[in-house]
Structure 1
């Protein structure tokens, strides 16, 4: 899949390389990490939500997908216990996610956006 084709489908960055993972989480920009697997039905629901948010926040927040079957080392570093799971970082620091890390939160798109907007501007 070429770059133009993949950007039309999803703005989620698929990350499987540990060095890339560490590079992104060290950035000043907020990064949202989504641990999932292609065989996980609940993951598909949450993936669709993050794809929507990635389009809205393109260039301002990195939305990264970690496939459990492709990135076992990153899954281990994140200490993923269940899928789907969500983690958020800025400058190497894990931020408190207001919803359960594992599972599909019942939060609305507006609630996600309010949280992201607040944490994008927080130093």
Structure 2
């Protein structure tokens, strides 16, 4: 799949836990168009450093292996979906 949403999160992060159901719903709704990849910053530190993630939750959209957009924090489902669709 050419478009990925990278989700950097942690179990102890309240905003990450708020976004979790939204991400899971969008993962189902956008199946076939977008691949969602989750990275636990505590377990996958090398990847977190590679992408220079400084706060969580952070979301990175990659298109054909290149970063095209980055966002962090809590967003509504509609706002998040619109952001992803704008970067397809």
Q: Same fold by TM-score, threshold 0.5 exceeded?
A: yes
| Inter-partner Cα distance in structure 1 for 2:81 and 2:59 | 15
Corresponding residue for 1:103? 73
| Inter-partner Cα distance in structure 2 for 1:80 and 1:43 | 14
Q: Which of structures 1 and 2 has the bigger CA Rg? A: 1
Structure 1 residue 41 corresponds to structure 2 residue 9: no
Corresponding residue for 1:115? 83
Aligned residues: 88
Structure number with the bigger relative contact order (C-alpha 8 A, sep ≥ 6) is: 2
Corresponding residue for 1:17? none
Unaligned runs of 5+ in 2: none
Superposition map of 1:4-15 within 5 A: none
Larger fraction in strand: 2
Moved over 4 A (4+): none
What is the alpha-carbon root mean square deviation over aligned residues?
1.7
Corresponding residue for 2:39? 66
SS for the counterpart of 1:87 is: strand
